[in-house]
Chain A
Amino acid sequence: MIEPSIALFGESFEEASRVLEQLIEDTGAQYALLVDRKGFVLAHKEALWAPRPPALDSLATLVAGNAAATKALAELLGEPRFSELVHQGERQGLYVEEVNDLTLLVIIFDQNAPVGRVKLFGKRAAGMLDRITERAKVESSAARKRLGLDTEYRESASALLDDLFGDL
């Protein structure tokens, strides 16, 4: 069985982005991301005043790895899940909330955002994102069709592969 994918685009992407934007406004957090459990970023927003974010790819990968490990720990202890994950440093904190089986909500905040507020609005946002991403779930073949990925795509990509990996 190949997992279904989340294909956020058009209205659903806009909606998810609005939820993240509102979340930043409500909590005073720096960054909010919707990532899938494979470690890819689906949508992200940052506060206008926030400094340049860290590498989002690395962030999403580590959060997804961490969430997977936490879930495995929960199962070892006979729990279906530990729903939230908070890390607090001296200046910054990271909050991860399960949206559903396929996606996670990540909020990065500093000392100006009270953690209680982050959790409260984080949970609310996760509920909204759950509905949005459920609607955006597609089977892989449908996603391919919608994209119009065809022989031409494959050939162009293969040529790029040769360029990148061929001459090194």
Chain B
Amino acid sequence: MSTINFATREINFKIVYYGPGLSGKTTNLKFVYSRIPEDRKGEMVSLATEDERTLFFDFLPVDLGEVKGFKTRFHLYTVPGQVFYNASRKLILRGVDGIVFVADSAPNRLRANAESMRNLRENLAEYELSLEEIPMVLQINKRDLPDALPVDMVRAVIDPEQKYPVFEAVAIQGKGVFEPLREVSRMVLGRLAPQK
């Protein structure tokens, strides 16, 4: 649930980029950081190893602006994708409002995509949450790979029931980075202020 600070009139949302190792979660955040105007973003914090693998999380605060007198802000996080780092990955999910699942189009990562989705469900369950309660969109990244799998094939392993919005992306070039972020933000806002 979003954190609402009545006194300072702020509404904060937490959006988490989830997915297997090296699927491009940090790349997404770096691109967002590079394009958001200075006055609308805070510092980007990266807790990474020397070889630039995310160790704990990346963090980027983005100011949406003032809505009905409330400063509305999104806190974007990535989790470490490597299987090994599950203990820290789980911690980042606390208080999550929305998820961008970043899947890898490489044929040899198909299984890693499926495992990461299963791991997401398990970790959410530890907070007594399920994917039915948290808005989520899928980003199928690395569409520029020469041997990229068809989108339907990647989707079949992470979203067989086709419940979530899907976006194709080449995050390193900034293609398909903002669309999923905008969609998940919209879904999160929709939950805060449901239609009557």
Contacts and interface: CB of A to CB of B under 8 A. Distances in A.
Interface of A: 1-10, 13, 36-43, 55, 57-58, 61-62, 65, 68-69, 72, 140, 143-144, 146-147, 149-154, 156-158, 160-166, 168
Contact of B67 (A6, A41, A156): A156
Contact of A57 (B42, B178, B185): B42
B45 interface: yes
Contacts of A13: 6-7
A164 B65 contact: yes
B40 interface: yes
Interface string B170-196: 000000001101100110011011011
A1 B6 CA distance: 23
B181 to A, nearest CB: 6
B49 to A, nearest CB: 16
B137 to A, nearest CB: 13
Contacts of B70: 147, 153
Q: Please report whether the interface of chain A is mostly helix, strand, loop or mixed according to DSSP.
A: helix
Nearest to A16: B7
B52 interface: no
A69 B196 contact: no
B182 to A, nearest CB: 4
Contact of B1 (A3, A43, A58, A72): A3
A143 B4 contact: yes
Contact of A152 (B5, B68, B129): B68
Contact of A160 (B45, B64, B129, B133): B64
Nearest to A143: B4
Contacts of A69: 56, 88, 91
B94 interface: yes
B65 A40 contact: no
Given A57-B75, A61-B45, A5 B4 contact: yes
A29 B45 CA distance: 25
